[in-house]
Amino acid sequence: MLVLMSQETQLIRKQIFDELTKIVDPEIGVSIMELELIDKVDIDAGKINIDLHLTSPFCPAVFGFKIAQDVRDNIHKLRGIQDVRVNVSNHFMADAINKQVNESKPPEKP
């Protein structure tokens, strides 16, 4: 089945991927997009769900928290975005990272 995206959805998707490209894994200094850590991005009327994995199941938790929080904060600042949910998978601290990041107060809009 072919799903056509509206121009608005395409624009939001481009802005999301531009923001994700700016986020760098603090341990190795490479963009999370270059590392192919983003598994899925769902856009539904201003609500964004992003699934990602870290470089290793035992990547230091502090780096996992930083990456997930940066993803949520950077995307949340975009115009037209009401909610961002991040789902980290395949990591020994995934549940704790997801809970802390998704329950944290979103950043102020610029």
pLDDT tens, position by position, 84-104: 999 999 999 999 999 999 999
User: pTM of the predicted model, to two decimals?
Assistant: 0.92
CB burial of residue 85 (10 Å; 0-12, 13-18, 19+): middle
**Separation of alpha carbons 104 and 53, rounded Å:** 20
Asked if 19 contacts 78 with a C-beta cutoff of 8 angstroms, the reply is: yes
Asked if 57 contacts 92 with a C-beta cutoff of 8 angstroms, the reply is: yes
Mean pLDDT of 50-73: 96
User: What would be the CATH architecture of the domain defined by 37-105?
Assistant: 2-Layer Sandwich (3.30)
**Separation of alpha carbons 45 and 37, rounded Å:** 24
**Separation of alpha carbons 21 and 24, rounded Å:** 8
